[in-house]
Amino acid sequence: MPIATAFPRKIRSFRQYSGFIRLWLAPTWLLLGASRAVILVLSFKRLAPRLGAHEGATPWVPLVDGSQEQRALEIARLIRLAARHTPWNSNCFAQATAARLLLGLYHIPYVLYFGLARDAGSRKMNAHAWVAAGRVRVTGGAAFGRFSVVGCFVAPQLAAGRTKHP
C-alpha cells in the first residue's frame, strides 16, 4: 500500500482510540523496547526484585474494583497495540514487564505469572509469562489452562497486606 494512502488511514485510526491510548501509545512502545533490552542485559536474579514480591508458585488472582478493572482493560489494549508495531520481538516477558510497570503506576493490584508447558509430542519445554489484574488478562492470553505456574510475583501492596500461613 502506498504511503500516501496509508498515512491518512493510520491517522484516522489513531484518532478513534481513547485518550488514554493516544496519550500512552508512544511511551508504551518505548517501554516495551526498554523492557526487552533489560531482559536481554540483566540476569533474572537481578530483574526479579523489580517484578514485585515473589510469592512462590501458588497461583492467585487479586481483587480489583470496577475503575481498576476498566483501567487494566485499557492497559491490556494499549500493550497489545504497541507490541504489534515494534520492530523488535515484544514477547510475553517484555509485555508482562511493561504491564507490571503500568499497573504499578496506576496502583492496580496485579500478579505476574511464569509458567512452563511441555510441547506436545516432544520433550521441549515452553515458557510463558502473563499478567492478571482481577478478571482481566492484561497480557498473555489464556495461559492459565495451558501452562503450569512455576512462579508468581505480586504487586508490593498485595504482599504487604497478605498473611502467610505456615
Flag whether 103 is in a domain.
yes
Flag whether 156 is in a domain.
yes
What is the per-residue pLDDT across 96-128, written as a single tens digit (0 to 9) for each? 999 999 999 999 999 999 999 988 778 899 999
Residues of the chain below pLDDT 50: 163-166
CA dihedral for 35, 153, 60, 20, sign (positive or negative)? negative
Number of folded domains that form the chain: 1
Flag whether 69 is in a domain.
yes
Output the nine-digit C-alpha cell for 43: 540476569
Side-chain half-sphere CA neighbours of 111 within 13 A? 25
Does the pTM of the predicted model rise above 0.85? yes
Full residue range of the structural domain in which residue 66 is found: 3-161
The confidence score (pLDDT) of residue 1 equals 53
Flag whether 166 is in a domain.
no
Flag whether 38 is in a domain.
yes
Flag whether 47 is in a domain.
yes
Per the prediction, the chain carries an average pLDDT of: 89
**How far apart are alpha carbons 35 and 41 in whole angstroms?**
10
The confidence score (pLDDT) of residue 163 equals 47
The confidence score (pLDDT) of residue 3 equals 61
